[in-house]
Structures are given as C-alpha cells and as structure tokens.
Structure 1
Amino acid sequence: MKPAALAQRTARLIASHPFTTGVTLLILVLALITGPIRGPHRPLRGWLGAGAVQLLDGHWWSPFTAVLFTDDLLELIVVLVLTVVLVGASERLMGTWRTALAFFGTAVVGIVVGAVIQVAANDIGELWARNVHGLLVLDAFTAIGGTIMTASAFAGTLWRRRIRVITLLVAIMYLLYSGLPSDFYRLLAVLTGLALGPLLRQAKVSGGWLRSSHHEVRVLLASALTITAVGPVIGLLGSTRYGLLSPVGLLFSNEAPSATSVIQRCQAFAVTRNCFRELTLERINGLGPVLLSVLPLLLLLVAAYGLLRGRRFAVWLAVAVNGLLALLSALYYGILPIASARPSVSPRYWEVTFILALSTLVPLAMAILLVVFRRHFTVMPSAKAVRTYVLLVLGTGVGLVAVYVLVGWLQRDTGFTRPIDIGDLFADVLERFVPVSFLRREPLQYLPTTPLATIVYHNIGTVFWLVAIIGAIPPMLGRGLRRRGTTEDAHVRELLHRGGGDAISFMATWPGNSYWFDPIGGGAIAYRVEGRVALTTGGPFGALGPHDGAIQGFARFCDDNGWIPVFYSVEARYTSLFERLGWSTMTVAEETVIRPQLWATTGKKWQDVRSSINRAQRAGIRSEWTTYAALPLTSAVQLSDISEQWVAEKDLPEMGFTLGGLDELRDPEVRLMLAVDEDGRIEAVTSWLPTYRAGIVVGWTLDFMRRRPDSINGVMEFLIAEAATRMKDDGIEFMSLSAAPLAHTAAAQEGGKDTMDRLLGYLSSSLEPVYGFRSLLKFKQKFQPELHPLIMAYPDPVALPAIGIALVRAYLPGLSMRQAATFVRGRG
C-alpha cells in the first residue's frame, strides 16, 4: 500500500473511532508524564489509584483515574494494543457515546462495588480482604474488559458468544490465580458490561445459551480448557499472589531452604505462610519437580488441541486429568477425609484449608462440561489406540513405582535425611507423581540427600507425565473410527474419481461413513449403522452399472452382521431390482437437476431469478468461485459467523447424514460460490460437491447454503445463477440442486399410504417448522429443474419402527431429550 493511501486509511480509521483514538492518546501521554517505566511515583500514585482505603478517604475520582494509568512499561504496551484492538472494535460495534459510557461506567461500578464488598469482608475478618485491604489499583484492563463485554451485545451470534465466554473465563482465572483487588474489580466490571450491553442496544438479545454447531462447541470448550490450563501461569509469573489457586506460583522461586532446617522448623500442623512456602520450595528443589507441576498443564493443552479436532479421546483425557486435579485438591486441601486423624487446630487453619479447597471447583466444572457436551466430539478413537495408551500409562506408572521403591530400599540407610523402611517408601511413592501445588501441607517425613536418591525422588513423576503427553499425541493426530485411515480414504476417492455413482456419492467421504467394497465388481457402498439398521449414503459407486451384484452383495453382508440393510436416497432406476428381491420401496425426496449447457434465464418463468441477479448487481455484490483452503483468515471467520447465526436460530441441532456442515467445506475437492460485497463482506455462501467420470468432473451438487440474516433478498438465487453460468462455461453436464430430505411432489394419496409413508410424513412435518425442507424444494423449483425421484428400499416392513428411529439418529445424532420434545411438538 502506498504511503498516501495508508495515510488516508489511517485518517478514516481515526475519524471513525474518536473515543478509541482519544483514550489511547490520553493513556500514552499520562504515562509519559508520570513515568512509563514504573508508573506514577508516590504520593501521586496514592491520589490516582483506586481501592477500598482510597474511597473511604473520599477519593471519589479514583475509579476514573485508576483506569488511565499503568504500573510498568510492559503493561503500558499491552494496554495500548488492547485499547486499539478491543475498544476500537467496541466503538465500531456500538458507536462512540456507548463505548465511552461502557469504558468508564463499567469500571466505576466494578471498582465501587468491589471496594464496598472488600470493606465489608474486611470488617468481618475475611482472610483475603484483610490481606489486600491497603493495596492500590491502577488497572486499565478493568475498563477494557467491561467495554468489550458491553459490546458483545452488539456483535453477531458467533462473536457474541466467543467474547462472553473467553472474557469471563480470563477474568475468573485472574481472580483465582492472582487474586489482587484489580482482578476482583475487573470481574465485576465484566459482569456489569454483560448486563449493560442489552440495555444500551435497546433490542432483544437472547439471554439464554444459543445453539452451537459441533465446530463452535469444540472451539469454545477448547478455549475454556486452554484458559484453565494456562491459568496457573498467572500464579507463576505474578509478583504478589492472593488468589485462591496461587500456591502454584511458588514454583519459579529460586531460593530453596535446606531440607534439614525445614524438617526441624515445620512441625505437625504448625501452618504458617513461611513454613508452607519453605516446604513447597524444598519439594521443588531442581528442574524435575518444576516440570512435574507444569507437565499436567501441557497435557491439558494437548487435549485442547484434540478437542478442536473433534476427538472423543481428547474429551476423556481432559476429563481424566481434570478429575485427577479435582481429587487431589479435595484430598490435599481437606475436602475429603484422609487416613490420619487431625488434632484440634486454630480456626485460621480451617479458613485457609477451606479457601484452598475451592480449587477443586475449577477442574471439576471443566470435567463436567466436557462430559455434558461430549456428543459434539464425533471422531471416536479405535479400541486399539485406547488400549495402547492405557497400557502405556499404567505400565510406565507401575515401572516407575518399582524403580522408586527399589532405589529407596537400596539407599534406605544413607540416601535420606533419616533411615526409612519399605512402609515409608510405599506411603510416599504416589506423591512423587503429584504436582507440587497439590502436595499436602503436613511436614515432610524425609528428603533425599544422595545424588541417586535425589534423581529418583524428584524425577519419576516428570518421566511419567512426559510419557503420558507423548503417548497422547498419536490418538490426537491419527485416525479414528469417524476418520478413515489414509489407505481406505484414498481408495474411496479413487473409486469416486472413476465414476459410476450418483449425485450424492461424494458424501461418502464425510465422517460417520463406513464402507463395503465389492470384491467382484470393484465398486463400493458407503453406509452407517444406527442401532441395528445399516443406512446407505446413496447407491453404489466406483464401477459402471449394472449394480445388481453390488446391491445383493451388500444385503448379504448386512445379514451376516445382523443388520437391516436400507438403501437410502438411491435413484429410482433401482426400483425394479428391489421389486424382484421382494423389498419395499418409497419415494423419500426429489433431486432437482439443471443442465448447464441449456442454461438461460429468458422468459416469464425466470422473472424472479432475473430480478434477484439485477438486485445483487446493483448492490455491488459479486460472485467468487473458490475453495475453503484458498480463503484468507478473515473470510473463513465470516463463514463461521454466518453458519453459527443459522444454527443458533434453530430449536433443533445441526443436521447430519446427507446434509453437510462447516467441516465438510474444508475438503479440497469441494468448491465454494460466495456472494461478496464491495467491502469484502461475505453475504452468502454455497458449497458444491463434485461428481466424476474417468477422473473428470462432469457435475456439481449443491450442499451447504447459508446467508446472513440481513443480506439482500434474492442473494441465494444470485449465487445459484452465477454457479450455473460458471458451469456452463466449464462444460459441466449437470448441476444438481440436491434433494430436500423428506420433501417431494410425488406424494401418495392418504388412502394409499403405508406405515413408512406415514412415519416419514410425520418426520417431515415435524422438521418443517425448524428446517423448512418443503420450502426449500419450492425454492429450487424457481430454476425450472428436472425432478428425479429418490427412493428408500428396505427388506422387512416389520423393521419400520427401527428404520424410522435410525433415520432420526442419522439426521439428528445429537438429539437430546429436551430437543426430542421440541421435535415432537414441531407439528404444532
């Protein structure tokens, strides 16, 4: 970009963000005047900072001035960046005066309410309030957090949810692991912004939890797990630690007392701050114990990566680690009873113990969330991968226990601060695997003194957690039951490139499908098993017809496995074959097909389509034919936003089976047709699945369709028309607008309907208010398509109830009991 153009763009940004510009410059100028390196000096600091004491002394202005100053140069840099990015984004979303009100209003409420609570707690002798009573607060993050939380009410569905979840989690983690008054005020400011946003917007904003796609749930839970895993770093790096979970912050201190002096000074239940600190420092004397406290957090980060990839293995790994941390907290901080009896202790001891015990809640809540939302993680691990990992972890643990006991026994007289026996070793060995922050506050009975004893004492836990981390990586990256191995996946794609299938054959590459390969004809059939029903995804592919042998071979294969074979959404040309087999058939959908080489929009019937094209062109909207991999990050985020808004509007979850979602767009062979305005904003998107013959694309099938709620009318018609024009130029034979599930024009008369017709009719009617399949079929008829019936064939009418349930499970795999009730009420 040329300097002149850059200057003009900068000037426009400044003019459109006056408050952001003004407050950024104000913070910078005030820092330069009062000292950017170490912040304002005393006594000026006492006049500018906020806190309980300052408000009691009548410094009414302090909540305003406290958010305009910083403590040091690094904080100043971070504050300036976040002000430009987050406050700037807030001003763009909700305007200048609302941003100014949110910036100072949330901060004032957070500081004043926080100080009042702090004073009240101090008066009754609460431990945290007494410790932090005289601390000053200079914290611009309080205002920034409140501002972005207020602005979340003005954001789209996707970013509103992400802003709220991440901002709240960060604020809570800072309070738990740092515990300064500023962390408390910041959390209150964030909560104030959560309430203020809908009031300022003066429009209805959903107060409940909006529905999320699998992809978005994975992003949110992975973010939450990452924040809770990184939270202890706040305690590690903080210079002052008052948070409930701050004991782990002792890890990076480099002054470790001698083992003998600690043992002598710290007697049973003589719990003092210095004694607790010295016991912890002695336990972490060396690199191994420091790693032991960090590696479980790294294992959680590995699990978070697996969550992003939809791995069920990552769910249970994170549940196991968080459950272990919660259990250790409960055991070592006094929630659960332990074997040894406790003598009577002072009330202060029990207050400390109760506060520390609250650390159980964070990992426990995270574990519960993962269990509740586990259905969104559909990539199942293979039994072999799970078995291998469990055996590796257990074998490593048992082996390291044996090494510890053996070395300890060999050095029982000389290797420790006192002679030990086998009972001492077994009583202590499990603590060698426990992160330092969870080790009990009772005094140590012995410590190592020789090099060999020290190496084993401090490092067996580190080795164990390293093995657990390294062993968890292959299940996160390798294949799962919902992701085929590279050989099988490559073979399926090779067969698809040969041809011989139908318009939806490419859906065979989607997660959830298994394959039967025809040993005689060389083709394949994709299917999924729901209960005892094997539903095919279309018909055979990979070999030229006739496919009679493949269909009969698959039926025998299902019978051998005790499954009921059901051919779903196959072409009507197979009807005669199924009649010869004695099977029942019924029409379940109609595929709408356009011939691009005959494409034209002339004539009265095409008036609506022509009007949509002209309307889009007048609005400056252009079409773009591309792939997901070729999109810049900003465009990919826009697609996620559009998809999440669509999902959030539904009372039922995102459907699957023959309906693709955001994840299916990422396939490199899938093409996207985007509607993009003059500013680069994506208004709508469609995706197209290829159909091959001898390695050449001969057709495209419409799958994914999404538009922004506020996009112009007719934008989808514009996209389909542009796709047809593109395919005409490329010489494509057919363009399928796909089939709307359970919607067709060839409906049987009421008297001629069998049980399955009525069941699918009920299913279609129930889903219509939510998903609008019949409306979708009517929309596609605007393009004057050929209508090709698609049928379902099944061998045994007695199995109709099981088949109906299998279809519901296939299309709505994440249907809960509450959603099922919504589904049943859908007809009303």
Structure 2
Amino acid sequence: MTDRDRPPAPGADSPAPAPAGTARRAMHLLRRIPVTLSVLLVLVVAGLVSGGFTSPSDQAPWYETFAYGLPSFADGRWYTVATGTVLVAVPPGYLLILPLAALGLGWLELRRGSWLTAATFLIGQVVAVVGTAFIVAGFAAFGSPWADELATQLDVGASGGVFAAITMAAFSLRSPWAGRVLLIVFAVVTIGVLFIGTLADIEHAVAVVAVMLVQARAFSRPTLREQRFITWTVLLAVGAAQLILVLVPAFGPFGASDPGGAQFVDVAIDAVIVLLLADGLRRGIRLAWIGAVVLGALNVLGGVLAFLLLTLLDALGSDSDAAELADSTARDALTLAITTSVLWLGILIWLVITRHAYRARLRRRLPGARDAQSPGALAETARELIRETGGGPLSWMATWPDNRIFLGSDPATAVAYQTHQGVAIALSDPIAPDDLVGETLVEFLDTVERAGFAPCVFGATERARAVIPEGWRAVQIAEDTIVDLPGLEFTGKAWSPARQALNRAEREDVTFRMGVLAQQSRRVRAQVDEISAQWVGEKELPEMRFTLGTVDEALDPEVRMAFAERDGQLEGFLSWLPVYGADGTVAGWTLDLMRRRAGGTFPAVMEYLIASSALAFRDEGAAFLSLSGAPLARSTPASADELSPIDGWLDHLGAMLEPAYGFRSLHRFKQKFRPRAEPLYLLFADEGDLARIGLALARAYLPDASMPELVRMGASLTR
C-alpha cells in the first residue's frame, strides 16, 4: 500500500473535501448548457402552472385551446405550436420528457454550442408539428382510416424538438458511432410510425428525417463492417417489433391489431429465426445471408397475399358468411403481415445491395493463409520473407508454430496472425518493404473483415500506425526498449549497474558465452530445461506465449543463446531473436527468454548477461538490441489531458496486473541500460470490438490455460 492509498492517521490533517471540487465541476458544466436548463425550467414551470404534474392535461377544459394539431390549425390557432410545446399530456410523461430533454439538448449543447442547440430545438419542433399536420392531412385525403382518426386528434409536448437535437448531436460523433446512433434513432422512429402510429410517433420521425436531410452531406458510404452492422440492427429491431406487437395493441398506417391471438406462435418462431440470422449476418456468413433473403422474400410474399385477402374481405363484408371469416383475429393477423412486409421489403433491397459483404464461410478461414498444420513449411516461408524484406523487433516471432501467415498479393509481403474468439490478431507490422506496408496491411484487414473476423494489430510500430486506414484507432499498449550498439561503452555513473555486474562476474569466475541451443551438450540443455521448469513452476498459470517464446522456440538455429556459467553450472541464460535489415543481413537482436536459476549465487546475472550480450553483438557489427516491450508500461507516464478513456483503462489494468506479472518492474529494470523508447500500439477499427479483442489476446497469450485457471487468476488479481 502506498502513502497515497493509506488512510490518514487519527487527528491528522485531512485534505480538502472532495465535494468542493465536485461542486465546482458541476457549476462549470451547468454554465455550459444554458439552453438546456432554460427548456427544462420552462417545462417545469408550465407543468406547475397548468397542474400537469398532478392531473392529465388532455382532460382539462382548456386543452383544446392550447394543444396543436389539424383541428387547431384549421381554426387558425397557429399559436398552439408554442403553447402545446411546453405542455405534457399526462403526469407520467414528465418522467420521460425531462430526462430525454436533458440528455438530447445537453449532449448537443456540450458538443456544438448553445446557438445551434436553440435553433435545432425550436426549428425542429416547428417542423415536426407542422409537418405532421400536412402528412396526416395528405393521408386523410386519400381515405386512410388511420389518418382520418389522427386528423381529429390534438397533441402536446416538446419531443419533436428533442428528437431533432438528439439527431443533430449524433452527427457530431466520429465514425462509425455517428452512423450507428443515427441508425438506432431512425429505426426507433420508423417502427413507431409503422406499428404504433400516434401523432407523437409521426412528429419524432419528421424531426429525425428533417435533420438527416439537412445533414445529408455528412453521410458517407458505409464500410463493410458498417453494412453488416446496419443489417444486424434492423433485423433485431424488426424481430423485437413483431414480438411487441402481439403483446401491445397498435394502430398504424396499415390498420389496427390487438395483442394475443394465434399469430403469437408464428411471430415468436419468426423472431427466433431472425435472431439466429442476425448474428450470422453480423459476422458476414454467406449462409445467413441466403437464409435472410429467403425469409425476407417469404415475408414480402405473405404481405402481398395478406393485402389481397384483406381487400377481398372488405369487398365481401356485407355477406353474412364473409362476415364470419372477417373476424377481428383474422384482420389482426393480416394487418400485422402487411406492416412487417413493408419493413422486410426494405431489408430485402438492402441485402441485395450489400450482398458482397456476406462471403464468409460458416467455418471461417482466411484465404491466402498458410496455417500451423504444416509448421515446417510455415516457418520456412516466414524466414524467407523476413530475410528478403527485413523486419522489426517482433518479426522473427512470425516463424513460431502457433502463428499463421497471410500471403499478400505481392510475393514479398505477408502478415503473421492468430485467430481467437472471432478476432484475427496481426502480430506487429506486416512483413513487407516500407513502400508496401500500407498496401499489405489494408489487404490483410479487408480480407479479415470479408472472412467475418474482427481485425486488430498487436505490437504495431510507428511504421504501421502511420498507414492505418481512415477511422482506425491506435492506443499504446507497450514500449519497446532499444539499446543502440555502435560506440557503446559502459563508462560513467549512468552505466554503473552494468559495469558493476561485469566486474563482479570477473571476480567470482562467472563466464559468458554465446551459442545455439540446439548445438549444446546434453548437460547444458538439461540445465536450460531445469531452470525453465523452475521458473514456470512458480507461476499459477501455464507458460505465456504469443509474443513470449519458450525453450522450444529457442531451439531455432538462428536464435542465439547467452549463457552465464560458473564451474560448469548455468546461473542463467537469455535468448536473442534475429532482426533482419532490408539488405538481408542481421541488423539487431530482440530479447526473448530471460531465466535465472532459482537460489543462484550470482544475483546480478541478468545485468551481466545483457551487458555482455550487448558488447558481443556490438563487436559483431549489430546496430541495436531490443530489450522487448513491457506490456502496459511507459517510461514517462502520460498526463491526464493526454490520456483517452481507453488509455486510462489500460493504465489501471497495468496497475492491477503488476503484482501478478511485474510488467512495470521489468520495464524499470531495463532502464539500467539507458534504452530509447519506441511505442508499440494496438490498432483497431471499433471500440465495440475491444471486449472481444481482450478475450482473444488472453487466449493468444494463454492458449493452454483451462477455465478454472483463468478464474483463479481473475480472483487473485481482484484481491
């Protein structure tokens, strides 16, 4: 426990109470939303004056004088657009409109300012009320029973302006969240009009559509992922609406329906099928697309038949036998079928337009990938490409058997990756020349999305971060530590830890040597296995993998091993992975395994091994050493202003994991060698994928961990 975490001693001076700072922040926030506060104040005052908080306004004798609608406008009472806006029909309505107004107007005002908020609310409310009157009058002129009834009704409320504000605020979000929020809002108001059909539902739809038309230039062509998201959202909305309709009475443009009845079983089965298809469409599965097209076609055909039957029943309504057939249950079922078929027609058209987004197989696999079923061929392919094109500090890990290789269209390009939990995790930068990194990365990400995986890149350097597609995000998840070797000398006070380790090793007859593990004697290899087994045995979980190698990977003949020995006994060892340059020669080395003998008699063995390795590689002409990145650690903590919410969460996660894994302690240890820092990033397209990406990374690092082991780890971290 740090001093900051320790509670103050009795009698000690306590810091200033937190509420003071909280109050200041609250006042600052309130000063930024004067329009929102004004609207809320007017609604509350009008409710108190009219008695709307305690009794229904629509039952009051003055209601017709102040409510808006076709009857009021026909009598010339246009002022009701203003008076009706500040009223609420029934007391429970305040529980909805006040929070909704605070959210919608406050959100817009904080993001876009007071003037735009005021204009959006006022104009949106007027357009919603007047536009609804024109729509109802138009439908009534064509003999719509639904519009005929609405033409006699009045309404009050500010919800039209509030929906306009919510829609305008959604446009202020960055992609893809702007499109997603707009889609949800549009789905809500569309279903409201088609299935419920009150004046308020039409007002909401008019306000939303009006703002969308004004902001039409802000729309862009949806990406492959967004096309699937639109389909998924709309299908779920339709399924939910159908279920609600058989439970709640409705009266929409296509007629009325009552809850219950025989259609409940049909709708429930339809909703289950929709749920299954929606999940497959979200993942881009071709079979799900075919099923959705078939289901949509059947619903549209059913709607056409229902319309014909309903027309026939109306034509035969005077016949006594026909009247028996035209009972309310039959009409309810036909009405519901017609209404849902309209939505299914739109979905069917969308499915045809976006058919290229659904090409993934039920058993997902990336085309152009060579997987771990042939580890020898995989490793050789990766080796050849790395030698030809060069790579970064993590590139040699592509040769490890757990990884797969995506072969780019250019023969000199590839991407190492793993798939877990429906996520394709690319390992660091593409293996490609500098001028092809962006093209290779985009090709891989596009292939991944078409195959139905969520893509991400783990351990990317600035080279890959600079060429990520528009809309992608990058968060720092580690920091590589690079030691430049040319001219390296362990002189001066800053190098005293390394120098002291070298001097002590000389005094205590500890020797250093480099070698290839596969070429060592049985005695040495047995000690390497013994030390590793001791190290792994101290952990609660199996040995971690992905970017952390094991002794098996150290047997690679191109991997160099650094040994510290005394009297024939290993005190510790390191493994170094080659980093090739573009000219086909080894430019540097990356640290992988770090193992010391439990109970060893030379405590500075790690400092000694790293310092000796640096001198040996310097003399061979290598340019640098990478001491590898410590996850969730930084040399210089970012300020609060620089931290995004995701960065803040990762910082908290790093602190939580520190007692179990010591990532930050390891990072501090590496600072003894005065490295320069190179950030490593997680690249991803969508914050909505972060939960899945986190699970996929956990499985990549701990592929052999059982569920009980993971649960125990989570419990220990929580404690």
With the length of structure 2 as denominator, give the TM-score of the two structures.
0.51
Residue of 68, 74, 93 corresponding to 1:56:
74
1:656 is aligned to 2:449: no
Contact 2:105 2:117 in 1 (8 A): yes
SS of the residue corresponding to residue 242 of structure 1 reads strand
User: Which residue matches 1:194?
Assistant: 212
Cα distance in 2 for partners of 1:508, 1:354 equals: 64
Q: Is the alpha carbon distance of 1:71 and 1:307 closer, same or farther for their aligned partners in structure 2, counting shifts above 3 Å?
A: farther
Deviation at 1:17, TM superposition (A): 0.9
| Per-residue CA distance 1:307-364 (angstroms, 9 max, x = gap) | 33443443333333333222211222229999x9x97989x99x99899746423102
Residue of 368, 390, 405 corresponding to 2:349:
368
User: Which residue matches 1:322?
Assistant: 296
Contact 2:47 2:88 in 1 (8 A): yes
Q: Match of 2:221, as an amino acid? A: R
User: Which residue matches 1:826?
Assistant: none
Cα distance in 1 for partners of 2:435, 2:116 equals: 51
| Per-residue CA distance 1:506-564 (angstroms, 9 max, x = gap) | 99999xxxxxx9xxx9798635699xxx979639999xxxxxxxxxxxxxxxxxxxxxx
Mapping of 1:568-717 within 5 angstroms? 589-590=433-434, 655-657=442-444, 670=459, 685=475, 693-694=549-550, 698=590
Deviation at 1:291, TM superposition (A): 3.9
Cα distance in 1 for partners of 2:117, 2:26 equals: 20
- Structure 2 segments unaligned to the other structure (5+ residues): 1-16, 419-428, 466-471, 481-545, 554-574, 578-589, 591-625, 630-640, 643-666, 682-719
1:244 is aligned to 2:253: yes
Q: Is the alpha carbon distance of 1:659 and 1:67 closer, same or farther for their aligned partners in structure 2, counting shifts above 3 Å?
A: same
Contact 2:476 2:680 in 1 (8 A): no
Residue of 137, 143, 150 corresponding to 1:125:
143
Residue of 102, 107, 110 corresponding to 1:92:
110
Q: Is the alpha carbon distance of 1:357 and 1:13 closer, same or farther for their aligned partners in structure 2, counting shifts above 3 Å?
A: same
Mapping of 1:745-756 within 5 angstroms? none
Moved more, 683-692 or 184-193: 683-692
Q: Match of 1:140, as an amino acid? A: A
Mapping of 1:289-328 within 5 angstroms? 290-328=264-302
Deviation at 1:29, TM superposition (A): 4.1
| Per-residue CA distance 1:444-496 (angstroms, 9 max, x = gap) | xxxxxxxxxxxxxxxxxxxxxxxxxxxxxxxxxxx5334999xx789989x98
SS of the residue corresponding to residue 70 of structure 1 reads coil
SS of the residue corresponding to residue 405 of structure 2 reads strand
User: Which residue matches 1:222?
Assistant: 232
Q: Is the alpha carbon distance of 1:19 and 1:527 closer, same or farther for their aligned partners in structure 2, counting shifts above 3 Å?
A: closer
Q: Match of 1:172, as an amino acid? A: T
Cα distance in 1 for partners of 2:402, 2:135 equals: 72
Mapping of 1:544-555 within 5 angstroms? none
Q: Is the alpha carbon distance of 1:665 and 1:109 closer, same or farther for their aligned partners in structure 2, counting shifts above 3 Å?
A: closer
Mapping of 1:200-599 within 5 angstroms? 205-206=217-218, 209-232=219-242, 235-236=245-246, 238=248, 241-244=250-253, 247=256, 249-252=257-260, 281=261, 284=262, 290-334=264-308, 357=338, 359-377=340-358, 379-381=360-362, 479-482=363-366, 502=386, 503=391, 526-527=405-406, 538=414, 589-590=433-434
Residue of 23, 39, 46 corresponding to 2:56:
39
User: Which residue matches 1:169?
Assistant: 187
SS of the residue corresponding to residue 442 of structure 2 reads coil
Q: How many residues align?
A: 455
Q: Is the alpha carbon distance of 1:540 and 1:373 closer, same or farther for their aligned partners in structure 2, counting shifts above 3 Å?
A: closer
Q: Is the alpha carbon distance of 1:308 and 1:540 closer, same or farther for their aligned partners in structure 2, counting shifts above 3 Å?
A: closer
Q: Is the alpha carbon distance of 1:4 and 1:296 closer, same or farther for their aligned partners in structure 2, counting shifts above 3 Å?
A: farther
Cα distance in 2 for partners of 1:251, 1:509 equals: 61
Q: Is the alpha carbon distance of 1:504 and 1:294 closer, same or farther for their aligned partners in structure 2, counting shifts above 3 Å?
A: farther
Cα distance in 2 for partners of 1:143, 1:541 equals: 49
User: Which residue matches 2:531?
Assistant: none
Cα distance in 2 for partners of 1:195, 1:78 equals: 27
Q: Is the alpha carbon distance of 1:10 and 1:364 closer, same or farther for their aligned partners in structure 2, counting shifts above 3 Å?
A: same
Cα distance in 2 for partners of 1:138, 1:305 equals: 40
Give the percent of matched residue pairs that are identical in Structure 1 and Structure 2: 19
Q: Is the alpha carbon distance of 1:144 and 1:234 closer, same or farther for their aligned partners in structure 2, counting shifts above 3 Å?
A: farther
User: Which residue matches 2:634?
Assistant: none
Contact 2:408 2:444 in 1 (8 A): no
| Per-residue CA distance 1:737-782 (angstroms, 9 max, x = gap) | 99xxxxxxxxxxxxxxxxxxxxxxxxxxxxxxxxxxxxxxxxxxxx
- Structure 1 segments unaligned to the other structure (5+ residues): 199-204, 253-280, 382-478, 511-516, 543-568, 572-587, 594-645, 647-651, 676-681, 702-710, 713-724, 739-828
| Per-residue CA distance 1:24-52 (angstroms, 9 max, x = gap) | 23334434552336631322332332211
| Per-residue CA distance 1:380-435 (angstroms, 9 max, x = gap) | 21xxxxxxxxxxxxxxxxxxxxxxxxxxxxxxxxxxxxxxxxxxxxxxxxxxxxxx
Cα distance in 2 for partners of 1:508, 1:309 equals: 31
Contact 1:145 1:190 in 2 (8 A): yes
Structure exhibiting the larger radius of gyration computed from Cα positions: 2
Cα distance in 1 for partners of 2:242, 2:93 equals: 19
Cα distance in 1 for partners of 2:290, 2:45 equals: 51
Q: Is the alpha carbon distance of 1:25 and 1:354 closer, same or farther for their aligned partners in structure 2, counting shifts above 3 Å?
A: same
Cα distance in 2 for partners of 1:65, 1:523 equals: 69
Cα distance in 2 for partners of 1:145, 1:320 equals: 35
Q: Match of 1:304, as an amino acid? A: A
Cα distance in 2 for partners of 1:214, 1:142 equals: 33
Q: Match of 1:243, as an amino acid? A: G
Deviation at 1:187, TM superposition (A): 1.8
With the length of structure 1 as denominator, give the TM-score of the two structures.
0.45
SS of the residue corresponding to residue 136 of structure 1 reads coil
Q: Match of 2:295, as an amino acid? A: V
SS of the residue corresponding to residue 334 of structure 1 reads helix
Residue of 20, 23, 26 corresponding to 2:42:
26
| Per-residue CA distance 1:122-166 (angstroms, 9 max, x = gap) | 355332221222122124332211222334454434344334333
Contact 2:408 2:414 in 1 (8 A): no
Contact 2:105 2:162 in 1 (8 A): yes
Cα distance in 2 for partners of 1:246, 1:370 equals: 27
SS of the residue corresponding to residue 182 of structure 2 reads helix
Residue of 20, 27, 31 corresponding to 1:4:
20
Cα distance in 1 for partners of 2:360, 2:18 equals: 48
Contact 2:68 2:154 in 1 (8 A): yes
Q: Match of 1:317, as an amino acid? A: G
Q: Is the alpha carbon distance of 1:138 and 1:736 closer, same or farther for their aligned partners in structure 2, counting shifts above 3 Å?
A: closer
Q: Is the alpha carbon distance of 1:591 and 1:238 closer, same or farther for their aligned partners in structure 2, counting shifts above 3 Å?
A: same
Mapping of 1:67-78 within 5 angstroms? 67-78=85-96
| Per-residue CA distance 1:554-584 (angstroms, 9 max, x = gap) | xxxxxxxxxxxxxxx998xxxxxxxxxxxxx
